[in-house]
């Protein structure tokens, strides 16, 4: 926009639409007295061109499977997407799968920006606001999610598209700022996308050279475009972020590019009311103020009153553009899918099940079971066998590892690797990029495939921010973490997780499962696949552990309840309760046998998942007392990690055997004995708390 004021009545409908996005953003932030008006104002022309002229998207059905995806990675600019959702008439979505007649963002919700319970929170939130494809805010997460979304589209197209039936051909667009480019996750994700030649992926880099502390030259001097060219991207430049024709030309170039992802670097400018005003505060957390808004609206030729003003014709303009185009595209797709269902009924059923987050009948029919074995198997090995059994029956179970699939046992046997030129592969090679892997897997899960990513437990810290976001979004992403304790042995404390399980358990909405033998591992996978709203962290061992005799001890089906009585006192009235999890469950069982032989009444509780236990007890309050009788104060937990949190279950009179330091390098048996993970130590602790 020119800094010369043009009255609203003299502006073209396109200028009115762009300035409606800007002024709604300004007014929303000002009314909330909180937020970031500068970025949405600067990106408004770009967003307008993308939504109105380019995107294949139906506002009346924002979960249409073949829609283009829009990700606002610069989540602080949330008023941009809220203004777009409002002006384009996007409908609301309930529980991911149901579109309602209500608007996703009404004008009243714009006025309630950043207020408790509004549909317009400070950063865009998936599930909370229809049309928001992923929760963003932590910078770089959105662009990394978008890579996963683009990977999912390539996989869906490779599996389901047939001659004459191009069901999946959508594109993924992500708006990012200087902060996203500085975060390391964007480098990981960008490198991965370039290697995979994801031609359906377009990042729009709003290069306004501003961060919270001031000009980006304070901390950043590289040529971002050259960096992404080195990654194998097609890099385009638009020098004037207000030039609608140049912006559209850049998008058309992206649409014609078939062998690489595209980055469009846009130099945005904002017409402020005050001369020479810089976007240092408005872009990063401060409203403009009433006086500055009045001056800026004057530049736009906009009335200062009423606030939240949308000129006549703007709503209709968007309906005639993206609305009509999207409705026509979806209608054609639906007609095509109806024919597809007749010709490829089994594949069509897969697509329908995926979209509803449902599993096919008999998906668990071939899960393995294991006979008693004193030597047993490592739970990572059993996990790989269970994964492959499920993969035979759930074709859309796909994933991989951060360069560790042979160690994490996450390769799907007989399947190809997902690579440029072979997008139908089910084994994803994420490279040594744990953070981008986790975020990409979230993006894949948001695309409705069942996706998993894996690495060693000690490296879960690299994934933590993304795991947290999966829990916030309530999506069933699967994280497979192996090498779960000081049992790693010779690798030493840098590779021996101590605090990691406790830190994962601290994330609300994340299910942590640490199975204690082969059959518990299979049951853990079953429980994982049945989740529709909660992500799961499967925590698995490198070392073997005994496979328990289930004719002697309770069935591993108890895993679904999170904790269950594995072995009990003869009269059902224990003097002491031993709680075991993971590789240490066998120590609790061995201690139980010794205590029983000495005439001490003991109970073993296997507790692979605190979260599943609490969920089950919430529905069945009596179960807690059945497993942990309040009359039995003598309790011992044993886990080769920090004891943090175990006081919830052992109580003030019990004791937790665990780690109080980092590990040490040495042979497995020596390290475990050194830190007290022996049957004798468990027996001694039990006798002490039971005062025997």
By annotation, the residues acting in catalysis are: 434
Q: Which residues contact 240 (CB under 8 A, 6 or more apart)?
A: 246, 267, 269
Within 10 Å of residue 89's Cβ, how many Cβ atoms? 16
Within 10 Å of residue 343's Cβ, how many Cβ atoms? 11
| Residue 175 to residue 202: CA distance in whole angstroms | 9
Judged by phi (left if over 0) then psi (alpha if -120 to 50, else beta), residue 173 lies in: beta
| Residue 498 to residue 255: CA distance in whole angstroms | 48
At 506, list the tokens: 């601290």
Nearest to 29 by CA among 289, 412, 219: 289
Within 10 Å of residue 330's Cβ, how many Cβ atoms? 19
Virtual torsion, Cα 246, 249, 254, 256, nearest 10 deg: -160
Buried b (16+ CB within 10 A) or exposed e, 425-446: bbbbbbbebbbbbbbbbbbbbb
Quick one: how far is CA 681 from the chain centroid? 40
Q: How far is CA 302 from CA 160, 241, 277, 307, 310, in A?
A: 49, 20, 19, 10, 10
Virtual torsion, Cα 146, 151, 153, 158, nearest 10 deg: 170
Residue 29 and residue 62 in contact, taking contact as beta carbons nearer than 8 Å: no
| Residue 387 to residue 326: CA distance in whole angstroms | 38
| Residue 49 to residue 245: CA distance in whole angstroms | 9
Virtual torsion, Cα 355, 400, 132, 112, nearest 10 deg: 120
Residue with tokens 């499962």: 513
Residues 461, 464, 465, CA angle at the centre, nearest 5°?
135
Which ranges of 257-323 would DSSP assign to H, the alpha helix? Answer: 290-300, 314-318
Give the DSSP letter string of 513-573. Answer: E---SHHHHHHHHHHHHT-SS--EEEE--SSEEEEP-TTTS--GGGGGGS-EEEE--TTS-
| Residue 384 to residue 613: CA distance in whole angstroms | 25
115, containing H or E segment: none
Residues forming a β-bridge with 454: 401, 480
Nearest to 614 by CA among 633, 631, 635, 628: 628
Judged by phi (left if over 0) then psi (alpha if -120 to 50, else beta), residue 332 lies in: alpha
Q: Which residues contact 239 (CB under 8 A, 6 or more apart)?
A: 246, 267
**Sheet strand arrangement including 511-513:** 417-418, 427-429, 397-401, 450-456, 478-482, 536-539, 511-513
């Amino acid at each position: 926009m020119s800094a010369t004021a043009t009255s609203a009545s003299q502006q073209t409908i396109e200028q009115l639409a762009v300035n409606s996005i800007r002024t709604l953003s300004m007014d929303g932030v000002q009314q909330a007295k909180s937020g970031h008006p500068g970025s949405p104002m600067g990106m408004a022309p770009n967003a307008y061109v993308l939504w109105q002229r380019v995107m294949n998207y139906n506002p009346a059905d924002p979960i249409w499977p073949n829609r283009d995806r829009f990700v606002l990675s610069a989540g602080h600019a949330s008023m941009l997407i809220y203004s777009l959702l409002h002006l384009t008439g996007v409908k609301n979505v309930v529980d991911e799968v149901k579109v309602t007649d209500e608007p996703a963002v009404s004008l009243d919700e714009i006025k309630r920006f950043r207020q408790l319970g509004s549909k317009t929170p400070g950063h865009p939130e998936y599930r909370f606001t229809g049309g928001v494809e992923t929760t963003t805010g932590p910078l770089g997460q959105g662009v990394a999610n978008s890579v996963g979304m683009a990977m999912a589209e390539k996989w869906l197209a490779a599996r389901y598209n047939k001659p004459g039936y191009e069901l999946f051909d959508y594109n993924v667009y992500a708006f990012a700022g200087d902060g996203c480019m500085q975060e390391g996750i964007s480098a990981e994700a960008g490198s991965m996308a370039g290697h995979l030649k994801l031609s359906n992926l377009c990042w729009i880099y709003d290069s306004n050279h501003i961060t919270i502390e001031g000009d980006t030259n304070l901390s950043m001097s590289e040529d971002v475009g050259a960096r992404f060219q080195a990654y194998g991207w097609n890099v385009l430049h638009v020098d004037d972020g207000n030039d609608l024709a140049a912006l559209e030309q850049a998008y058309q170039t992206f649409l014609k590019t078939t062998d690489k992802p595209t980055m469009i670097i846009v130099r945005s400018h904002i017409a402020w009311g005050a001369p020479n005003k810089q976007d240092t505060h408005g872009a990063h957390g401060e409203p403009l103020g009433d006086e500055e808004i009045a001056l800026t609206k004057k530049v736009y030729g906009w009335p200062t009153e009423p606030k939240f003003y949308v000129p006549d014709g703007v709503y209709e303009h968007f309906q005639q553009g993206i609305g009509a185009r999207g409705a026509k595209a979806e209608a054609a797709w639906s007609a095509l899918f109806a024919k597809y269902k007749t010709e490829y009924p089994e594949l069509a059923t897969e697509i329908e099940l995926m979209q509803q987050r449902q599993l096919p009948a008999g998906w668990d029919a071939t899960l393995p079971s294991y006979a008693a074995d004193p030597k047993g198997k490592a739970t990572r090995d059993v996990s790989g066998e269970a994964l492959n059994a499920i993969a035979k029956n759930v074709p859309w179970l796909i994933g991989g590892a951060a360069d560790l699939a042979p160690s994490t046992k996450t390769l799907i046997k007989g399947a190809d690797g997902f690579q440029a030129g072979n997008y139908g592969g089910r084994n994803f090679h994420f490279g040594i990029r744990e953070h981008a892997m986790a975020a990409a897997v979230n993006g894949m899960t948001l695309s409705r495939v069942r996706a998993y990513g894996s690495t060693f437990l000690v490296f879960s810290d690299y994934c933590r921010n993304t795991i947290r976001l999966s829990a916030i979004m309530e999506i069933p992403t699967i994280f497979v973490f192996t090498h779960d304790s000081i049992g790693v042995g010779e690798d030493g404390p840098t590779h021996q997780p101590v605090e990691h399980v406790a830190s994962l358990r601290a994330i609300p909405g994340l299910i942590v499962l640490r199975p204690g033998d082969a059959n518990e591992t299979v049951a853990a996978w079953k429980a994982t696949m049945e989740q529709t709203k909660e992500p799961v962290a499967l925590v698995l061992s490198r070392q073997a552990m005994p496979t328990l005799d289930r004719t002697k001890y309770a069935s591993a089906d108890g895993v679904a309840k999170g904790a269950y009585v594995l072995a009990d006192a003869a009269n059902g009235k224990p003097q002491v309760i031993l709680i075991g999890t993971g590789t240490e469950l066998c120590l609790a069982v061995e201690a139980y046998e010794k205590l029983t032989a000495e005439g001490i009444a003991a109970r073993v509780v296997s507790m692979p998942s605190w979260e599943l236990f609490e969920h089950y007890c919430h529905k069945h309050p009596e179960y807690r007392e059945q497993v942990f009788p309040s009359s039995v104060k003598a309790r011992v937990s044993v886990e080769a990690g920090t004891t943090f949190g175990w006081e919830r279950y052992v109580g003030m009179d019990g004791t937790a055997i665990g780690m109080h330091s980092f590990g040490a390098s040495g042979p497995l048996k020596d390290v475990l004995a050194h830190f007290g993970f022996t049957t004798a130590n468990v027996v001694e602790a039990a006798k002490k708390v039971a005062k025997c």
